[in-house]
Structure 1
Amino acid sequence: MIDVKPKFQAIVFIFATFIISAIEEYFIIRDSGMNDLLRIVAIMWTPGLIGFALALIFDRNLQSLGFKNPDWKSTIAAYCVPAVAAMLIVLLLIASRVAEFEIGEDLILKKGSVHLVLAQALLILPTMGVAVSFLSAIGEEIGWRGFLTSKLKELSFNKRNLIIGLIWSVWHWPLILFANYASSEKPWVNVICFTVAVTSFSFFLGYLRSISNSVFPAGLAHAGHNVWMQAVIPVFYKAGPLVPYLGGESGLFCAIIYAAMALFIVRKYKLQN
């Protein structure tokens, strides 16, 4: 084992992740953007692979990555919370008349019937879709909630997850600002909402990591978030002009919902401490 302070290991991880990711982002932005699935999977696995490498270099083992069997409580919470948050976004969009409840005719024609559309949105995507998404999401989580979390464990729960959440948010910024990851024509608006949402979501993922001592629930929650926000809920509404700013994972409603959840978790840990 190499005797290097955990905070220095964290700095090395952050520096290496951002440098390698910047190279990958350059090619994503220059070429086909977020449409290149292989490059997206590669960049999502960058934090995890760097975490693997540094764990072997500094610790000579993989214990810091959180490869433990999770309990049922954390697993159920990981699966359900992103789904509930996504449903709340749909309800807010419809209740505020920003969007109309509608299953698009084009989608029905493409799938063959409304029953097949519903089967895909409510059965296939939340099961098989989440399982497939997990294979890429866990790559990020091995880095953020695995290696980096373990190296910042001397910090308080709230400070640790605030720092990781902000770093994680900034890591996404180039793709929102310069690729086609933004949901609106004003990417800077989406950056603000996305930063609030993802930093807040980091508290939930950190909470899962803490109560389970495992990185896997965080990976499941991350995968569920991606599937529900990006693929499931758009099926159920006709988007109005404000939806790109209020709906989805980089919209105001997601930021508000996740911020409220983060405040609840912060209060919970403040009372415990």
Structure 2
Amino acid sequence: MPEAPVPDAAAERRHVPWAAVAVFAVVSCGLAWLVAAPLWARGLGMTDPLLLVLATVMMLTPAIATVAALLVERRQRGERGARGILRELGMWPLKPVGRTLGISAAAIVALPLLIATGLLVVGLLGLAEFDLVGFSGFEAQVAAQLPPGTPAPPIVLLVVMQLVMIPIGAIINAPFAFGEEVGWRGWLLPALRPLGVWPALLISGAFWGFWHSPLILLGYNFGLTDITGVLLMILACMVLGVLLGWTRLRTGSVWPAVFGHGAFNAAAGLGPLLVAADSPVPPAWLAGPAGLITCAVMAVLVAVLVAAGQFRRDRLDARLG
């Protein structure tokens, strides 16, 4: 007897599952604050040695929230097998394989290039000076970390190794990026899809930015400790979320967004790598990897994709509605 097809939950949705969305929102934000609580209790801010560890753990909280949301949906819609859940979250099957792999590879390349383009704009505006020959700023950083009298390795070799590590870092970062992306683009974006493509993209991106609040209010990313930093992060995540969300809608798979997210994080340190030692230092809210200039560069790419018809309904994955 032939095996019965597994119904696609995303295609079955005609209305937003608001109860599940509410549970997802409460669990993801609640766990984010819980994970970040030691940073607030210790009062060391951005100098806390636990910062990177807890920020990494925090990336896993949307995955836990996704499980909670799926449990609510299960009660509302009945039993769903493992295959149905994997399909709903865009984890499996990888169809069409060529498009999924191609867009995943493009995301690994394109996201770091967007950050690099933002740095180019920073240089053209005279906000910073870059040393692309001697890499004097990076050389000074390396020298400061070595014991006195220790010769520094060839700086160009170190720079090349750092650049080569960006696509490798996208893969290394993938398990942690998956912890976020299975929530934002795997579950939340399709759950909001009945609202329309653009509302779903922008709302899921805005919530992604707001979820970062426990770290942003400590000064993470922008060096700002008030609502301004949160609003800037919401803006950055809305624009970047459109690009990552497009990969989800175009392929039906969450994996291009996972690797794109990992590549973006891996390339976040490009500025310190290229800046000259005597360069002025523009504020992170303007020239950082999530700053306004990079947001403008990403918005231009979004506009190009729209002009090329990449957001037309017939170009988006039918399984997402």
Question: TM-score, normalised to structure 1's length?
Answer: 0.86
Q: Which has the higher helix share?
A: 1
Tell me: CA distance 1:121–1:188, structure 2 relative to 1, closer, same or farther (3 Å). farther
Instruction: Give, in whole Å, the separation in 2 of the partners of 1:55 and 1:22.
Output: 22
2:115 matched residue in structure 1: 86
Kept after mapping to 1: 8 A contact 2:112/2:263: yes
Aligned residue for 1:154, secondary structure, equals: helix
Q: Distance in 1 between matches of 2:45 and 2:198?
A: 34
State the shift of 1:243 in Å: 3.9
Alignment partners' CA distance in 1, 2:157 and 2:71? 47
Quick one: distance in 2 between partners of 1:162 and 1:148? Answer: 11
Report matched runs for 1:90-129 at 5 Å.
90-102=119-131, 103=135, 104=137, 105-109=139-143, 110=146, 112-124=153-165, 126-129=166-169
Residue identity matched to 1:130: A
Distance 2:290 2:142 in 1: 27
Indicate whether 1:130 and 2:145 are aligned: no
Aligned residue identity for 2:160: A
Change (3 A) 1:98 1:140: same
The answer as to 2:67 corresponding to 1:52 is yes
Identity %: 24
Q: Hey, what does 2:317 align to over in structure 1?
A: none
Q: CA deviation at 1:159?
A: 0.9
Aligned runs of 1:39-78 on 2, under 5 Å? 39-55=54-70, 58-59=73-74, 60=80, 61=82, 62-63=85-86, 64-68=88-92, 69=94, 71-78=100-107
What do residues 17-56 of structure 1 show as CA deviations (whole Å, max 9, x unaligned)?
A: 1122222222233335564233222210000122134335
Alpha-carbon distance between aligned partners in 2 of 1:222 and 1:56, rounded to the nearest angstrom = 26
Q: Which moved more, 1:30-39 or 1:75-84?
A: 30-39
* Partner amino acid, structure 2, of 1:119: V
Task: Give the distance between the partners of 2:118 and 2:230, measured in 1 at CA.
Answer: 18
SS of the residue aligned with 2:267?
A: helix
1:248 match: 288
For 1:143 and 1:213, locate their aligned partners in 2 and report how far apart those are by CA, in whole Å.
14
Structure 2 Cα separation of the partners of residues 185 and 11 of structure 1 = 28
Task: Give the letter for the 1:135 counterpart.
Answer: P
| Range 108-117 or range 167-176, more displaced | 108-117
Give secondary structure in 2 for the equivalent of 1:152: helix
Give a deviation string over 1:210-254, Cα, whole Å, max 9, x none: 11111111011111111112x233200135242423212232211
Which has the higher mean CA deviation after the structures are superposed, 102-111 or 66-75? 102-111
Output one character per residue of 1:105-138: Cα deviation in whole Å (capped at 9) or x when no partner.
32453562213321222112x1332222222111
Q: Aligned pair 1:148/2:172, yes or no?
A: no
Unaligned runs of 5+ in 2: 1-14, 75-79, 147-151, 315-321
Gap change, CA 1:77 and 1:199, over 3 Å in 2: same
- Number of matched residues? 268
Letter in 1 for 2:242: F
Per the TM alignment, residue 174 of structure 1 is displaced from its structure 2 partner at its CA by 2.9
CA contact (8 A) 1:17 1:50 kept: yes
Shift of 1:78: 1.3
Q: 1:13: which partner in 2? A: 24
Distance 1:87 1:216, change over 3 A: same
- Which of 149, 172, 175 aligns to 2:212? It is 172
Q: Letter of the aligned partner of 1:128 in structure 2?
A: I
Asked if the contact 2:17/2:191 (under 8 Å) is kept, the reply is: yes
